Structure 1
Amino acid sequence: MRRTLATLLLLLFGGSLAAGAQTLTLEECRAAAVEHNRTLANARLDLEAATQSRREAFTNYFPQISASGGVFQAQHGLIQASLDVTIPQMGSIPMPLSLVKRGIVGGISAVQPLFAGLKIVNGNRLARLGEEVGALQLQKSEAEVRERTDTYFWQIVSLRENLSTLDAVERQLDEIHRQVELSVEAGLVTSNDLLRVELRQQEVASNRLKVENGLKVSKMLLAQYVGADWRQFDIACTDTEPEAPAAWYVDVEEALDRRAEYQLAEKNVEARRYEKRMERGKRLPTVGVGAGYLYYNVMDQNVNDGVVFAQVSVPISEWWGGAHALKRARLREQQAENDRMEARELLAVEIEKTWSDLQEAYAQIALAERSIASATENLRQNREFYRAGTSSLTELLDAETLYTQSRDKLTEARASYRTAVARYLRVTGR
């Protein structure tokens, strides 16, 4: 279903990618990343390989057919004998005999296994399990790719917001610079104050360069993920007020059953169980029936014959070390069960921690919003006080710095919350 949705989305905007219009929404970025990511491409190839292994294992139910043939030319007859021929009045005379000096042989046989110690049955179940593991690995990789896509996307949004903040700060500093310049001309302050404002402007310009470079790198990373040209790539985002964490909550036990990692641990236990059964099957007899056709010509006569047969094979020598091998298989099964239990416990801890991180990230947004309100009012008052001559330039620049920091913290808090939501969705199997 997810592949189908991704394909439909790509059909909708894939043509625009080729044409050069590469402004993508978050959903379109997710769909494109799922389709183009090379890690996922390898995971799909692994799944296809597992499917081929399952189909190969199924052929073991079919009769085993073999054919052989050959010709030979011997230096001497392969059958050497000496016959005593009795001739009346001459007695017994030895006569050498040499037969089968050249010949042609050929045949074909088919053997249908009736019982093979359940090795064929368990081998097919193990191959089918490998295909299910491949599907779970693909599901796990898709979830990781979507989370990484969300991280890059919201990082770009955050850096854009930082640029907006810098725009606002530059306008404020331009106004402060104008006021200080007038005060210097009027002889109210020294030129040292003007230099301090200019140093702050240069600091902001330096920060802009860092943010712009970071934005470029983030776009390159996301473009590489979605298979687009980063030089023409951009995102479309209508950032609304984020929903409260309660909208994303899911019970831990329910989330555990959804996690591909836990399902993989369960499949590992199942695989060890089948391996134990196959180990036991190596010590059981095998029974089969077959039919064949034989042709040979070794004495200048064509001989054609058919044959039917039954065969029983008892692997007696396998019993010597079989008990130890079977015990080793049981130990591995117990190890897999221990790993499954540990995985469930650790995944439960991860889910709870991620939920706590999500709540903390949401609370940080509210704190950052209050900080902005306080910093905005503080900046307004210091601007008025400076105009009235009751506040120093240092206090005004400090207020402007606090305002910048508070806006950056809000931007960071929102991006962190969006990323935390993406991670929570992944660790809860959604």
Structure 2
Amino acid sequence: MKTIKYIILIFIFFFRIEGSAQEPMSLHQAREMALNKNEDLKVAAKQIEKAEAHKAALRTMRLPSISANATGIYQNKNFEIEMTLPTQMPNPVTGELEPNIMINPSTGYPVIGPDGNPIFNMYAWLPLEISLSGAYLAGVTLEQPVYTGGKISAGNKMAGIGKQMAEDNLELQRLNTIVEVDVAYWTYISVNEKVKLAQKAVDMLAVIVGKARNAHDVGMANRNDLLKAQVEYNNARLNLQKAQNGLQLSRMELCRVTGLPFLTEITATDTTVKVTSPVFSEFNGETVSERPEYKLMQKNIELQEQNIRLARADFLPTAGIQAGYNHIGGIEFTGTDFSNTSLNVLASVKIPLFHWGEGIKKIKASKIEKEISELELNKNRQLLMLETEQSRLNMQLAWERIQMNETAVEQADENLRITKDNYEVGMETITEVLIAQTQWQQTLNEFIDSKTDFKIKETIWMKTTGRLSY
């Protein structure tokens, strides 16, 4: 029984150690962990591997292909044919064989039968039996395309463009992942700050409650003042609990994004949200040409161009060469085995002549598809430029919000200090102290939110201007 207890205690001990594992983390580390874990990035990387394999496969279409083939036949019944053949006889003068035709003695001309053909003096009877019960054909074939109307070239170029698009898509997924992890990281830092602020508010209100209770005990304050202080104290404790719950949720979200277990305790190297003044003069003249979204749309137009070539290639001449080395055997002709081994070469040319305008219509459809892609590129380019300008304005507004909140924090600190001093000398009521305390906490919360919002807006702006690196 004691052994079982020891085992249980050891298990609980190790479980607590695992559950409370500490993970130090900076923003750079969080980005690296997220990039290594993100499933979308893994899928995008597989898409590149797929495109590379497809490109390599299409490249081999220019090379000759070699294949082996074999065919066997079994037939339980033989072919039986009886043939009657005309004969020939040697000419004693020339020594050559001449048809043994019957000559009419009176006319000296060949005798003509009812079918209109000459009648021979003698015919040969040839019974023929063919057996295919064990016949077979085996050989090796080499095929080499000579001209395919540009289809192979277009296919190879499309495969190359597809690989480039897969790489641009991977870059896009990386940027999206960085934005996601930045949002999770700075949210966790800001909520952690709010927990500390809420705890500080609880401690400050505990002091106020203590002073109100002492004043009430000596008859210098009524019970209503004590109750007001206690109500605010309870609200502060509730807000602290809410902030702690929010901290747990934000920590779990950061664990999810970075691929850590949900029970991992994260120790962030950034204890507060620190911001630096942006240089607004750098915002002018931004371009969207380096964004992966724009590159993907450009590559799509190049893809449509090659698609036009493919459509045209279906209606252009094609040429190819085929060489084979074949052996046939297992055939019997009237009891005699027949076999043959031969080398053959075949050249073929196919020229499409008339298809009721199918080729022209397909090429026209492919060109229209390309024009649609070009129109979408122009439209989306303007949208990307608008998004870039909007991100710049949002970050500028977020910075101005920080500036205003810094002033508001200074005023709230001063207001709380003066109100407390006046309360100590009886010039302010506890109600004014509680109001000042609430305003002070709200102002600091707003200041924390504004800094967090600025960091997120800054990351989004760097993404939209092509400056976000990892």
**TM > 0.5:** yes
Q: Secondary structure at the match of 2:338?
A: coil
Q: Is the 8 A contact 2:161 2:303 kept in 1?
A: yes
**Distance of 2:393 and 2:248 partners within structure 1:** 32
Deviation at 1:65, TM superposition (A): 2.5
Task: Indicate whether 1:373 and 2:413 are aligned.
Answer: no
Q: Is the 8 A contact 1:252 1:352 kept in 2?
A: no
Deviation at 1:91, TM superposition (A): 6.1
- Cα offsets for 1:119-178 (capped at 9, x unmatched): 000100001111111100100000010111110000011001101211221222112112
Q: Secondary structure at the match of 2:229?
A: helix
Q: Secondary structure at the match of 1:214?
A: helix
Task: Indicate whether 1:229 and 2:230 are aligned.
Answer: no
Q: Is the 8 A contact 1:252 1:348 kept in 2?
A: no
Deviation at 1:85, TM superposition (A): 5.4
Q: Structure 1 residues 86 and 356 mapped into 2: Cα distance closer, same or farther (>3 Å)?
A: closer
**Distance of 1:93 and 1:269 partners within structure 2:** 76
Q: Output the amino acid matched with 1:191.
A: R
Superposition pairs of residues 203-282 of structure 1, within 5 angstroms: 203-234=235-266, 235-237=268-270, 239=272, 241-246=274-279, 249-254=282-287, 256-282=288-314
Deviation at 1:56, TM superposition (A): 1.2
Aligned with residue 321 of structure 1, among 358, 370, 394: 358
Match of 2:97 in 1: none
Match of 1:303 in 2: 340
Q: Structure 1 residues 123 and 250 mapped into 2: Cα distance closer, same or farther (>3 Å)?
A: farther
Match of 2:110 in 1: none
Deviation at 1:74, TM superposition (A): 1.8
Q: Is the 8 A contact 2:72 2:136 kept in 1?
A: yes
**Distance of 2:194 and 2:273 partners within structure 1:** 17
Match of 2:3 in 1: none
Q: Secondary structure at the match of 1:189?
A: coil
Q: Secondary structure at the match of 1:231?
A: coil
Match of 2:447 in 1: 410
Match of 1:353 in 2: 390
Aligned with residue 175 of structure 1, among 181, 184, 207: 207
Match of 2:6 in 1: none
- Cα offsets for 1:192-218 (capped at 9, x unmatched): 211111111111111111111111111
Q: Output the amino acid matched with 1:98.
A: E
Count of paired positions: 410
Q: Output the amino acid matched with 1:350.
A: E
**Distance of 1:419 and 1:248 partners within structure 2:** 20
**Distance of 1:301 and 1:283 partners within structure 2:** 44
**Distance of 2:326 and 2:38 partners within structure 1:** 56
Q: Secondary structure at the match of 1:121?
A: helix
Q: Which runs of 5+ in 1 are unaligned?
A: 1-16
Q: Is the 8 A contact 1:108 1:294 kept in 2?
A: yes
Match of 1:3 in 2: none
TM-score, scaled to structure 1? 0.90
Higher helix share: 1
Deviation at 1:239, TM superposition (A): 4.4
**Distance of 1:40 and 1:257 partners within structure 2:** 22
Match of 1:62 in 2: 63
Superposition pairs of residues 22-41 of structure 1, within 5 angstroms: 22-41=23-42
Q: Structure 1 residues 241 and 101 mapped into 2: Cα distance closer, same or farther (>3 Å)?
A: closer
Match of 2:373 in 1: 336
Out of 25-34 and 44-53, give the one that drifted further.
44-53
Larger radius of gyration: 2
Deviation at 1:247, TM superposition (A): 7.2
Q: Output the amino acid matched with 2:347.
A: A
**Distance of 1:425 and 1:69 partners within structure 2:** 64
Match of 2:422 in 1: 385
Task: Indicate whether 1:138 and 2:170 are aligned.
Answer: yes
- Cα offsets for 1:32-81 (capped at 9, x unmatched): 11011111111111111111111111111111333211111223345x53
TM-score, scaled to structure 2? 0.83
